[in-house]
Amino acid sequence: MKIIRTTFILTALTLVLVILGGHFGGRQGMTIAFGFALVFNAISYFFSDKIALWSSGAKAVSREELPRLYQVVERLAAKANLPVPKLYIVPQAAPNAFATGRNPRHASVAVTQGLLQIMNDDELEGVIAHELSHVRNYDILISSIAATVAGAITYLAHMGRWAAIFGGYSGRDDRDRGGGFSALLLLILAPIAAFLLQLWLSRTREYSADETGARMVGNPYGLMSALQKLGAYNNRIPSDAISPSTSALCIVKPLFGMGSMSSLFSTHPPLEDRIAALREMTIVPER
């Protein structure tokens, strides 16, 4: 069911992109829009992990530097039958963590200094299990593709609006399509639809990673406690290292400046809902 839901969202995003291109450029526009999707997805596939690590200021760490982190990651990776990812530290007081990489063989996990300072061993294990679940489920690749397609839709919509302002499309094509009003409506609605589909996908993958991580550990309690602690600290400590473009990868939404985005438009589900879902789980430990 989760695979079907994810496939549906990615397909819907691609269709929005192709329809937008086709509306303003006919068959040639559809081809150009599809080309946009392929190019953006290729860039995302090969470089999204490097961009995320670079933009957050993450630094690679060795086993000698952080033996506690390596022990937890190596134990859980062996339990989940995953290669041990590359580990990074982010010089950031606000506690958080994220995973990136196009597949398990090219995965990286980054944690902030603040996270290591406040988490006990059970909580750290819950956080790492959540991040390894993203790796195991190929969530980073899926989310990156969704983000790039949504970005292409927004870019094309901006191009369409500029074309409308300077008379880039008019005349017979407009009359055949119901006039300029329908075109303007599509330019407004297409980016909104892409944004909402992307949010839906992101929230779905967070719930899935919580569940998979809890089953990987054998109980949900460490992750539940970690989420409660992350919520409390991130409401007080603004992020000054993790960029907004990387925030969707984080285990909890970072706080930027003096406020945070409404939960209605957040890439992450409300923490209380995630904790409630974990509390209701019946765990059968993985063998």
- Residues assigned a catalytic role: 131
149, 41 in Cβ contact below 8 A? yes
Q: How many CA atoms lie within 13 A of 38 on its CB side?
A: 6
The Cα 162–Cα 120 span in angstroms is 53
CA distances from 40 to 20, 55, 153, 249 (A): 16, 18, 11, 18
The Cα 160–Cα 155 span in angstroms is 9
43, 31 in Cβ contact below 8 A? no
Question: What tokens does 1 get?
Answer: 């069911």
Among 66, 171, 46, smallest CA distance to 111 is for 66
Q: What are phi and psi of 92, to 5 degrees?
A: -145, 130
Place of tokens 């409401």: 235
Question: What tokens does 104 get?
Answer: 């398990």
